[in-house]
Amino acid sequence: MAVTHTFVVGREQCFQQIERLTKSHSLHSSESLCKLLRYLSEHSLDHPGIALKEYQIATEVLGRPAGFDPQSDSTVRVQAGRLRVKLSEYYAHEGVDDPILVEIPKGSYALTFHLRSPRPGAPVSTALLLEPPQRNVETLPSTQRWTALVIVLSVLLAASFITSAILLSRTRTQSATGQPVPAAYQLFWNRFVSSPQQPWVIFSNGSFVGRPETGMRYFNAATDASAFILDHYTGVGEVLAIHQLDHVFYLFNRQLRVKRGALFSLDDAKNNDLIFVGSPSENLTLADIPGSREFVFQRLDSGPRKGDLAVLNVHPLPGEPKLFLATPANQATVEDYAVVTLLPGMDPTRSILILAGNSTFGTQAAVEYVCREDSIKELLGRLNVSKPSDLKPFEALLHVRIAHGVPVMTDLISVRTRGN
């Protein structure tokens, strides 16, 4: 049986864990999330028990002006939600053996540092206790010190076996029952997890010509008919998106089948539930099946933005623009638009979900939106969904803000419901 050792861990070990997190693959590319994590850790360790306000975080960490209104601006809640997801990703993969578990409990902005439950088969577990404040203790005579030491060691030994038994029981319980699936996830993803067949995730992989070492460009049928086509590349957003989807389906104890768009066939479309990741500009198989009717991707053929991809608002509501344009293609992307579209499949008993942006970052944001509990609740509220049968085909448009190649804020700006 594994033996659990107990030792005291202080502020330094906690801050070392925070630095390990900020340098991880999960977080190092997101400057804003790393800054938020460091700020929350310093406040939680320096001022335990004192709650942080959204206004304080927004103005001191996220650069919001003094007039910030948390009631109308969800920036802090969105960023905290993204940080929770990233911490979960880290501990599920890179940090699977880390002894210190850092979490942000929902409904709070205070970090918690506590024991990481051991993995099955791990030989040693380590119980972590926050270092208590130092106290002045009266020195005992030598004989009494030895007696006290024996008593303390006996208590620690007993505690170690008790802790080991508790953790082993907890691990077995978690293994048997699984992690609870939030109600919002059950409502939104019901049709994709209730079928006996695993859904297909079809990710975009555009066609390129050229060579990676000398330069590549998109395939142009008019000029590249005889060129060798490279069809095995995809964007970073698509890669991260599939990871997010896999995490959600893991909660349901379900698996995904993944296929790149170039290998997709209409037989797949007829016989399976499908989740398309990536816009029709690269996920070309979307052109072969019924798609969006309200928010349609369209490449501009005239004007100063000729050649850029945009989202066409087919039936704009009062006050809405006809086109939604992302950052120009020749500039660093700081803004994008994305769609979340739920459709009936070619077989009416099947469903199709399209998660796509003008850019790979917009695609990532669209997938993250339907993989976060808070944003799913927002979408279900706009659709007036309270039970799985209420969720009908719809199209939603998202506005995405991007910093350093990372989606940092996603807003739901328009929703359309549609008949079957």
- The tokens of 56 are what? 């304080």
Cross-strand bridge partners of residue 335 = 401
289 in Cβ contact with 354 (< 8 Å):
no
**pLDDT by 10s per residue, the chain, length 420:** 333 333 345 677 888 888 888 888 888 778 888 889 989 988 888 877 778 888 889 888 888 888 888 888 888 888 888 898 889 888 888 888 888 888 888 878 888 887 666 555 544 433 344 444 343 434 444 444 444 444 443 444 444 433 344 334 443 334 334 568 899 999 999 999 998 888 999 888 766 777 777 777 766 667 776 677 666 677 888 888 999 999 899 989 998 988 887 777 776 677 789 999 987 766 666 665 667 889 988 888 888 888 888 999 999 999 999 999 999 888 888 999 999 999 998 888 899 999 999 888 999 999 999 999 999 999 999 999 999 889 999 999 999 999 888 898 999 999 999 764
Tokens of 246: 């896999």
Cα 396 from Cα 106, distance rounded (Å): 26
Length of the chain: 420
Closest among 70, 103, 99 to 85, alpha carbons compared: 103
The Cα–Cα gap between 264 and 174 comes to 37
Q: List the one residue out of 358, 340, 349 whose CA is nearest residue 395.
A: 340
Query: And the tokens for 190?
Result: 């019901």
Residues 6+ apart with CB under 8 A from 90: 21, 24, 26, 27
Distance from C-alpha of 39 to C-alpha of 33, rounded to nearest angstrom: 10
Structure tokens at 351: 């469903």
Cα–Cα dist 98/119, whole Å: 11
Element (H, E) at 376: helix 373-382
CA distance 419 to 344: 9
pLDDT for the residue 117:
61
What is residue 269's predicted lDDT score, i.e. its pLDDT?
Answer: 72
Q: What is the DSSP letter of 349?
A: T
Q: Would you give the distance in Å from CA 408 to the centre of its chain?
A: 11
HSE-up of residue 126 (Cα within 13 Å, Cβ side):
11
CB neighbourhood size of 198 (10 A): 16
The CA-to-CA distance between both ends of the chain, in Å, stands at 58
CA separation for the pair 292, 277 (Å, rounded): 14
Q: Residue 252's closest CA among 200, 201, 189, 199? A: 189
CB atoms within 10 A of CB 12: 9
Beta carbons of 79 and 36 less than 8 angstroms apart: yes
Determine the Cα–Cα distance for residues 13 and 23; give it in Å rounded to an integer: 15
Rounded (10°) CA dihedral 296, 300, 304, 310: 20
Give the pLDDT of residue 380: 96
Domain ranges of the chain: 3-132+142-175, 183-417
Measured over the CA atoms of residue 267, residue 222, residue 324 and residue 401, the dihedral's sign is: positive
- Which tokens is 171 given? 């691990």
Residue 339: predicted pLDDT:
94
- Nearest alpha carbon to residue 253 among 183, 200, 194: 194
